[in-house]
Amino acid sequence: MAETERHPFLKGLSKHRGAPPTVIVIFGASGDLTARKLIPAVYNLGFDNLLPADFFLVGYGRKPIPDEEFRTMAASAIREFSRRELDPAVWARVAAHASYVSGGYDEKAAFDKLAAHIAGIEKTLGRDVQSLFYISTPPSVFEPILKNLGASGLAGKYLGQPHQSKVIIEKPFGRDLESARQLNSTLRSVFAERQVYRIDHYLGKETVQDLLVQRFANAIFEPLWNRNFIESVQITVAEEVGVGSRAGYYEQSGCLRDMLQNHTMQLLALTAMEPPVSLDAEAVRDEKVKVLKAIQPLVLGPGGDVVRAQYGPGLVAGKPVPGYLQEAGINPQSATESYASIRFSINNWRWQGVPFYLRSGKRMPHRVTEIAIQFKRPPGTLFAEGGRFDLAANTLSFQIQPDEGLSLILNGKIPGLETRTQPVKMNFRYATTFGSNTPEAYERLVLDAMIDDGTLFIRGDEAETSWGLYTPVLDYWRSQGRNGLESYPAGSWGPPGADALLGKSGHSWRKP
């Protein structure tokens, strides 16, 4: 019998992406992230023949669930959330090796039961398997899960071998520098750093990965990627929605913790990093840490580098919406920010004098995530006469979501007998060039963890360096209460202070 007949997942498998026999254990198996992202990711990897030949899916949670009910829940999640329809043949191959283990997160005996379950899988196969533990739970149970993985012997299985145990840990990775250090300490007491995969799903998005390709695979960009040619960099993560049903979480988090400290800082690091010596994971992550360490401390207080605000009542998509303080579950005296903008200065040779502006907020005009590189204007001697010339700064924009792609703004001549100019946009979109069925970020990241590729994951020192920049801001805001907290109408691009933050350097926000 052919190997691909015995193991259907081998058919069409890219050799350099092959993973060893693997058990993925999802902690929080009945949670929203598991249903919306993780189960569909596993299914689509199976659809694309990228799962290892011997692959097993184990759900873990407090609630006792029979194996068949877990499979039914997983199939329902695929039907509702997968980018592809449920193919019965593909799902049958995954479901045949899907099971569920129940137990508490702080119960050592339950983890011993999980270890016995995995040992039973190995005995049935007659070979060792790597265990990939995905912690998709509230942060409050991160530490007991990690400690019990160590106490049960699951964390140290096959350490140093190609099929050693690994752990994927979801954000938020701490709430400030102290808690991030504590979580790192717990992790390091159980796992070696090379076993740990701190996930930020933004790094799995196609356009984020394309950023490195555009920078380092095209000779026209890298020579210009410095203070001599770039005027400023703007990174925007805007959401159209309000807090909705997440008031309890958001009141404890706020915009800075929820978006800026993690997602947005990853975009900054990839934009500003020096060329790595190779595409090896550690080489890339070394350069990210270096550029984060080169960021100067933020100036706080009036006229400083940080602006915060809450949305008030307004119109979004033509419909009236309440302000933040009127949302269900929000404290009427809340000082939690729903918007923040920051000016960063990077103190190195490449970026000295180039401001990096970051902003994120809820109830903005529309949902968009983009990186905009604004190049310096040419001397205005040739095309500065009268009002015939509408010259815009050349801007390269990477749109991360929702319409993935990039655009370049140039100045072009308007057809006619006299010389008149206007800005024109050259667009590239993934959906029109490569088709719309782009792999989800979690598919890429789960696969990378299985094959020991940590390039798109966050290293421990990187997380601590980022928190080191933001913790003084959080401490200052806590001391100020609502003092200095601005407001902005829902459906607008932010408060007046955000415009003033750029205006003092002669810049203005783009409208994506």
Residue 436 pLDDT greater than 70, yes or no: no
Q: What CA–CA distance (Å, rounded) separates 264 from 449? A: 22
Q: What is the mean pLDDT of residues 137-145?
A: 93
Residue 430 pLDDT greater than 90, yes or no: no
The model's pTM: 0.90
Structure tokens at 215: 């920078």
DSSP 19-57: --SEEEEEETTTSHHIIIIIHHHHHHHHHTT-S-SSEEE
Residues 6+ apart with CB under 8 A from 42: 24, 51, 57, 94, 446
Question: Please, are residues 102 and 64 in contact by the beta-carbon 8 Å criterion?
Answer: yes
Please, what are the domains in the chain?
3-170 (3.40.50.720), 203-377+432-440+458-503 (3.30.360.10)
Q: What is the mean pLDDT of residues 216-235?
A: 93
pLDDT bracket for residue 141 (50, 70, 90): very high
Residue 171 pLDDT greater than 80, yes or no: yes
pLDDT bracket for residue 433 (50, 70, 90): confident
Rounded to the nearest 5 percent, the helix, strand and coil shares of the chain are 40, 20, 40
pLDDT at 388: 60
DSSP state of 86: P
Provide the annotated active-site residues. 263
